[in-house]
Every structure is written in C-alpha cells, then in structure tokens.
Amino acid sequence: MTPKSFRKMINYESIFYGIKALLYGIPSSIGIMYLIHLSVTNTFDYGFTLPWMSLLYVGLAVFAIVGAAMLYSFSKIKKDNIIEAREHLI
C-alpha cells in the first residue's frame, strides 16, 4: 500500500466513524429528549421542538474531534514506518 493510499484509507475510515457515531447518537438523543419531554409534561405545558442548531453544532463537533484524531494519527504515522512499527509489536 502506498503512503497516499494509506492516507486515503485513514481519511475514509475517520469519516465513516463520524457518520456512524452521528447515525447512532442523534436518533437515540432525540428519543431521550422526547422521553424527558414526556416526563415533564405533567409539570410544564409546552410543545416538543427539536433544537436543530444544537444538533448541527454537535455534528460539527463530532467531525472536528474525528478530524483532530485523524491528524494525530497522520503525525504518528509520519514519524514511523508502518512495517517497522508492526515488527516491534510482534
């Protein structure tokens, strides 16, 4: 595998991790928000609305964290040769 193709693989892997985290996290958080809404409905009288901007900020934050992890992995890989690093682990 060439260094360019390895970087491409790490990029795609990081993007897929971010998408997968959002696909699991956002629906479950919406469900939890709705359950909290149902639990306080007896005390307060207001409609259920989704905080779209907060969900957008969370999505951006997830990709910022994934991007930072990707850059960190690139910096670690740049210092070591992949084959030599694997031989040290064995």
pLDDT digits (tens, 9 = 90+) for 28-46: 999 999 999 999 988 888 8
pTM confidence score: 0.71
**If pLDDT is split at 50, 70 and 90, which confidence band does 81 have?**
low
CA angle 11, 83, 81 (to 5 degrees): 65
- Of the chain, the percentage scoring pLDDT greater than 70 comes to 86
pLDDT in the model for residue 46: 83
Burial of 61 (0-12, 13-18, 19+ CB in 10 A): exposed
CA distances from 74 to 9, 54, 67, 68 (A): 11, 30, 10, 10
**Contacting residues for 55 by C-beta, under 8 A, at least 6 apart:** 26
